[in-house]
Amino acid sequence: MKKEQILNGNVYLEVSMGDIVMQKDMDAIANAANAFLRVGGGVAGAIHKAAGPELEKEAMTKGPINPGQAVITKAYNLPNKHVIHVLGPVYDRDIPHDKLLADCYSNALDLCEKHQLTSIAFPAISTGVFGYPVEEAAPVALKAIYAKMPVLNSVKRIRLVIFNERDYDSHIKALKEL
Ligand code: ADP
């Protein structure tokens, strides 16, 4: 599998090609959720399908959420302990989209720390239906994560899981520019 990683302090940041529901070695995965924490399509559809119907039941009790916000649930039939649901900004609507996107990653990492998790995998939030151009979203995501790495205690490994080759190349470019 294609991947590249860097170390900042005691924490590894990895960019890999793959499917967010196949991250067996991660404590948590992030879901690119909708405000009401309903099943939806894209990443959310794949995550809810793999987790089973109990995920939506629990998640919906935690909504609605605002852009940039993160909430945690159990992971049910997924191979992880938790799912951290974040609401990415809709590119043309939720302003400032770069701050709100950075908040998604930062708030998700805060929840990992609060729950003493050691690892989390993220998809490229907002780059699907929410319309954030991937070449703009990739540096925002990687910079937000990188800035947070020195203050993490329990989290040791962070992975961005990218679904296709073109988006992967954008993220590797942003990783190298950190
Ligand atoms: P958003 O609504 O936040 O834009 P989407 O789910 O529409 O979220 O898409 C976010 C990104 O996740 C897109 O780049 C899409 O290609 C990618 N993606 C879709 N399915 C998966 C998956 N199973 N694993 C990882 N990434 C995925």
Q: What is the 3-state secondary structure (H, E, C) of 83-120?
A: EEEECCCCCCCCCCHHHHHHHHHHHHHHHHHHCCCCEE
Cβ(34) to ligand 1 under 6 A?
no
Residue ranges per structural domain of the chain: 3-176
Using most ligand atoms within 8 A of CB, pick from 97, 105, 127 the residue to mutate for ligand 1: 127
CA 131 to the chain's CA centroid: 16
* Residue nearest atom 5 in ligand 1 by C-alpha distance: 128
Find out whether the beta carbon of 68 lies less than 6 Å from any atom of ligand 1: no
**Which whole number is the average pLDDT over 72-90?**
98
The pLDDT score that the predictor gives to residue 97 is: 97
Say yes or no: CB of residue 168 within 6 Å of ligand 1. no
What is the average pLDDT across 142-155? 97
pLDDT tens digits for range 111-146: 999 999 999 999 999 999 999 999 999 999 999 999
Q: Give me the pLDDT at residue 104, please.
A: 98
* Residue in 21, 20, 13 with CA at minimum distance from that of residue 51: 21
How confident is the prediction for the chain on average, in pLDDT? 97
Residue 101 has pLDDT above 90, yes or no: yes
What confidence score (pLDDT) does residue 54 get?
98
- C-alpha 167 – ligand 1 centre gap (Å): 11
Neighbouring-strand partners of residue 74: 82
Residue 59: half-sphere exposure toward Cβ, Cα within 13 Å? 30
SS3 43: helix
From CA 69, how far away is CA 159, in angstroms rounded?
19
Check residue 26 and give its pLDDT. Answer: 98
CB of 33 closer than 6 angstroms to any ligand 1 atom: no
Fold annotation for 3-176: Leucine Aminopeptidase, subunit E; domain 1 (3.40.220)
Say if ligand 1 is within 6 A of residue 11 CB. no
Q: Using CA atoms, how far apart are residues 160 and 70, in angstroms rounded to an integer? A: 17
Q: Measured in angstroms, how far is the CA atom of residue 36 from the centroid of ligand 1? A: 17
